[in-house]
Structure 1
């Protein structure tokens, strides 16, 4: 018959303190998540910085508690580059379907890559949040310029260097609203709406770190 292990008093104190600390951390974490998804209130506004520090980027949610608002549109991003050859001739390439590549990689994959699912989508969300409908707004702050460089480098990485030197890159975004269910009386314009962004110059520094 094995002897019953008896914890010493200091060991019991340590275990109790560890349990209390772990339980408090779990409750604080769950409280931060609740404040993040709950409707705006005085508590969430006062502690917004602390809540964002806990939630972002790993635990972000795309909906609000009691008022789910799932994405109701499909966004397709394409890109093309303008190149210059050794003879000085300038050529504009065909549109390269960046989103189409991601969709093809995700379909029929039981464990799709997080990058395939979110990298391009989040990059476009970031651009929209800084520019809105004004593509010339980047001069208003560094966030707008960062959003442009982020999209530009994603496009360059996907398209690759190729033969001739790229001198400009352009993106096109096509937004298509998701049709409502057949039983709904909601009227939705499901026609695709395209938006071409300005040409952005490409320098050697824009390729740095890209493979």
Structure 2
């Protein structure tokens, strides 16, 4: 059996460590290339590109869709009408806050609580690129009805004992803050968008529990 000398073992050990470190750095560069843009990939973009291009170019992404870059809060309020014709504007109801409360500390949170409202807003936002809420396509009206029915299912047919006449949505978007060690400077102040009032009628409750 061949016995390696001490210098040979040292050389082999150093070579093995060098290969392992090089492989780890190469895999890290590929990971940063295909991962969603983040503080690390932005900081080392030139180094990552030098490793990846042109021989190891990747045209796919690690996540599909990419993780959200904003925290979006959807609120709703209603106007009610009393028997004497008096109209009252009610306080805002935090629909997203309700979902957070249902998910937080829940070991098996509902898929509905996690995604239904969020996906409904994504659907609306994608079909209403104009801030004034103008209908921009054949699916836009469907997106409005979908969002409205989700809110009405939670609020009910009455508020304060009075029939609901109209509903309005307010959406606040806050950019996720970068990590403390990142030099990136972004505003984390919420950006609010209020939609116009939408009338509510009996058809909006059809099929709702």
* Range of TM-score over shorter length: 0.5 to 0.7
CA distance in structure 2 between the aligned counterparts of 1:178 and 1:194, rounded to whole angstroms? 15
Alignment RMSD (CA, Å): 1.7
The offset of 1:121, in angstroms, is 0.3
Q: Is residue 2:81 matched to residue 1:77?
A: no
Segments of structure 2 that go 5 or more residues without pairing to the other structure are: 1-33, 35-58
Give the secondary-structure state (helix, strand or coil) at the position aligned to 2:139: helix
CA distance in structure 2 between the aligned counterparts of 1:180 and 1:189, rounded to whole angstroms? 10
After the TM superposition, list the runs of 4 or more consecutive aligned residues in structure 1 that deviate by more than 6 angstroms.
none
Q: Deviations over 1:74-130 (max 9, x none)?
A: 000000110100011000111011000000000011110000000000000001100
Aligned length: 148
Q: Is residue 2:83 matched to residue 1:101?
A: no
CA distance in structure 1 between the aligned counterparts of 2:129 and 2:62, rounded to whole angstroms? 24
The offset of 1:66, in angstroms, is 3.1
Q: Is residue 2:190 matched to residue 1:195?
A: no
TM-score w.r.t. the length of structure 1 is: 0.67
| Equivalent in the alignment of 1:86 | 83
| Equivalent in the alignment of 2:141 | 145
Structure 1, 184-193 or 66-75: larger mean CA deviation = 66-75
**Greater Cα radius of gyration, structure 1 or 2:** 2
CA distance in structure 1 between the aligned counterparts of 2:208 and 2:95, rounded to whole angstroms? 16
Aligned partner (choices 141, 147, 150) of residue 154 of structure 1:
150
The offset of 1:67, in angstroms, is 5.4
Q: Deviations over 1:44-95 (max 9, x none)?
A: xxxxxxxxxxxxxxxxxxxx93354321110000001101000110001110
The offset of 1:135, in angstroms, is 3.4
Quick check: 2:133–2:195 contact (8 Å CA) kept in 1?
A: no
The offset of 1:210, in angstroms, is 1.4
Segments of structure 1 that go 5 or more residues without pairing to the other structure are: 1-36, 38-63
| Equivalent in the alignment of 1:55 | none
TM-score w.r.t. the length of structure 2 is: 0.67
| Equivalent in the alignment of 1:65 | 60
| Equivalent in the alignment of 1:124 | 121
